Amino acid sequence: MFVILVYDVNEKRVNKVLKTCRKYLNWVQNSVLEGEISDANFRKLKSEISRIINKDEDSVIIYILRTTKYSDREIIGLEKGGESLFV
């Protein structure tokens, strides 16, 4: 599956969340990651994030796309982040 993950977490936890997410996904912009991920790794990622964040203060949103066949990505301005794997 292909996922887009966005997060808004307290400054104290930002680096931990980013480091955890980068093990599974590609960083594309501040607080935004994307990439192909297996079901097993998706469950691991969610579990690891749940242990890091404070659910009363932080927010993580994951958009799940079963296929990227009908998806496209357009960048206006500076392209941030690492590799672009969006097809």
**10-residue block means of pLDDT along the chain (87 residues)?**
96 96 95 95 97 96 85 79 53
Cα 37 from chain centroid?
10
Numbers of helices and strands, H then E, in the chain:
2, 4
Report how far residue 64's alpha carbon sits from residue 68's, in angstroms, rounded to the nearest whole number: 10
For the entire predicted model, the pTM comes to 0.84
pLDDT of residue 77: 82
Helices (H), the chain: 11-22, 39-52
pLDDT of residue 49: 97
Cα 86 from chain centroid?
13
pLDDT of residue 86: 46
Cα 54 from chain centroid?
17
pLDDT of residue 76: 78
